[in-house]
Structure 1
């Protein structure tokens, strides 16, 4: 299978990129877990220029669909989602390298290497560390607005995250009050998929986020308001 690559973090030939990144080792930030017939985990690496990278390493970790009845590495599906969401203005990690090859036993080995989201933290951590109190209520409202707009843009493109928890929504705020700058990015997109309708994607993800988040009722209503303003219609069952 041909190797897909974005950018040139190190000076190596195109044919050697997979081998180069596969040989890299770093600290495990997500220990390998066994599922989907193989293993998948995430290591922290550093580029030759000192940039922090995250490398998702997989062996035999595949999904099957009508397009790929014999299986395809899940990082390739994640790469597809990242690139599609980037094109519709949704914040996602920058891909340094993505590729997959079969080993001597014909088992898939696959990699997805992305740059760290500098200055970002997941939404759960942001609340737990006092981000709301530190930045103030005006900035918090801007945060809810940007989260709502980000999710709406994803769903309008008929993409469903499929695992939308607070820990997968990363935020960065600079400045205070109404002048604050808010950035939002989505992570862990290996289960993302296209739906036949934007409404179907919206219903699944937004209900899932509500079940697995600790938003206060008033904050959730604001988030839904901002979301629906961009989405353009009401989503039943979100109240």
Structure 2
């Protein structure tokens, strides 16, 4: 079987990134899969009976469907995510099963790791934050919130002429009526977490300036140590 075949992704196995989350007769977990022939690395998120319900799907559908749809939406508006490779879902005797496959973000590091391990210079941190703000502004202008935006969900690659960003974990992404309603909870959560790992007041001000220039209103800036 080849990676292009859907049966390959359903049957392939790998190392669990962390222990699967079991609840109410279902489970959700992510496996890291390295192809022996090419060395390419993929992340395969698997779920069974992890469902959401809506007006359209009153009997439930896999929550991975929402994550896949959110990532497809992000692609359509130019918001960078981990590269999508494959999605599928099927209903069997044990209920709904679904898989979502993304390619490894080689060369990227999370904002959390970059700050905690002090991987970047002050200038690099400023460049990274501007790029992150630009990606999020595109998302929020589309009246879409991420819904779980912490520094560990934001990845940056500093190896090129300009920083490249990828945002992961889109399962809780939702639409909102206005750009401000989409932006405020995401930005508040992200910046509050960054302040705890070393974000400076100047960097905080830089981030807010990017949003001010975009025309999206935010609440007052948090303070160091708040």
Same fold (TM over 0.5): yes
- Equivalent residue of 1:79, what SS? helix
Matches within 5 A, 1:205-216: 205-214=186-195, 215-216=199-200
TM-score by length of 1: 0.84
Out of 170, 187, 211, the position equivalent to 2:168 is 187
CA distance in 2, matches of 1:9, 1:204: 42
CA shift in 2, pair 1:206/1:37, >3 Å: farther
CA shift in 2, pair 1:23/1:129, >3 Å: same
What value does the CA root-mean-square deviation take over the aligned residues?
Answer: 2.0
Match of 2:44 in 1: 55
Match of 1:117 in 2: 105
Q: Is the 8 A contact 1:29 1:44 kept in 2?
A: yes
Alignment length, in residue pairs?
218
For residues 51-97 of structure 1, what are the alpha-carbon distances to aligned partners after superposition, in whole Å with 9 as ceiling and x for unaligned?
10000000101112222222111111111111111121211111111
| CA drift at 1:147 | 1.1
Match of 1:128 in 2: 116
- Equivalent residue of 2:105, what SS? coil
Match of 1:33 in 2: 21
CA distance in 2, matches of 1:143, 1:23: 38
Q: Does 1:95 align with 2:84?
A: yes
Match of 1:237 in 2: 220
- Equivalent residue of 1:75, what SS? helix
TM-score by length of 2: 0.88
Q: Is the 8 A contact 1:96 1:113 kept in 2?
A: yes
For residues 129-148 of structure 1, what are the alpha-carbon distances to aligned partners after superposition, in whole Å with 9 as ceiling and x for unaligned?
2222xxx3222211111111
For residues 97-125 of structure 1, what are the alpha-carbon distances to aligned partners after superposition, in whole Å with 9 as ceiling and x for unaligned?
101001223x0110001101110011111
CA distance in 2, matches of 1:144, 1:182: 9
- Equivalent residue of 2:170, what SS? coil
For residues 150-181 of structure 1, what are the alpha-carbon distances to aligned partners after superposition, in whole Å with 9 as ceiling and x for unaligned?
11111111111100000000011026xxxx42
**Structure 2 unaligned regions, length at least 5:** none
Q: Is the 8 A contact 1:100 1:108 kept in 2?
A: yes
CA distance in 2, matches of 1:37, 1:85: 31
